[in-house]
């Protein structure tokens, strides 16, 4: 599965999503893109899921008709040690996630 990490995610999180092709927005040259533009660019590039800690995305974006899904990590911090504890829950969440959906991961595993 092709997974994109949002700008607010630390780049080392790429290494925690084993078994998937993971890229960070900065590696794609998309650091300046806002949420809607970013989702559109990610879809066009074939990404199936975007992972973020931006909880407002769910209320700012309409996912209807989109081929990409979003996993929001409900963490109080976006530092690598804190987010690393969510990696297993993120991996579980992306499996079978329908296109155009948003899921929030609230528990670290």
Q: At which residue do the structure tokens 């800690």 appear?
A: 53
Cα–Cα distance measured from residue 17 to residue 88, given in angstroms and rounded to the nearest whole number: 8
pTM score of the predicted model? 0.94
| Confidence label for 57 from pLDDT (cuts 50, 70 and 90) | confident
| Average pLDDT of the residues in 52-69 | 88
Q: In this model, does residue 40 exceed pLDDT 90?
A: yes
Question: What does the pLDDT look like over 72-90, one tens digit per residue?
Answer: 999 888 899 999 999 999 9
pLDDT value of residue 107:
78
- Please check the confidence at residue 45 and state whether its pLDDT lies above 90: yes
7-44 residues labelled b (16+ CB within 10 A) or e (exposed): bebbeebbebbeeeebbbbeebebeebebeebbebbbe
> Mean pLDDT score of the chain, rounded to an integer?
92
Is 109's pLDDT higher than 70? no
């Amino acid at each position: 599965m092709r997974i994109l990490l949002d700008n607010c995610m630390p780049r080392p999180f790429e290494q925690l999503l084993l078994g998937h092709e993971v890229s960070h927005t900065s590696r794609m040259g998309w650091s300046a893109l806002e949420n809607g533009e970013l989702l559109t660019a990610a879809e066009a590039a074939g990404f199936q899921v975007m992972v973020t800690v931006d909880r407002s995305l769910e209320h700012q974006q309409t996912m209807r008709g989109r081929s990409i899904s979003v996993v929001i990590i409900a963490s109080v911090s976006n530092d690598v040690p804190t987010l690393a504890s969510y990696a297993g829950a993120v991996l579980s969440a992306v499996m079978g996630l329908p296109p155009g959906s948003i899921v929030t991961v609230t528990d670290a595993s």
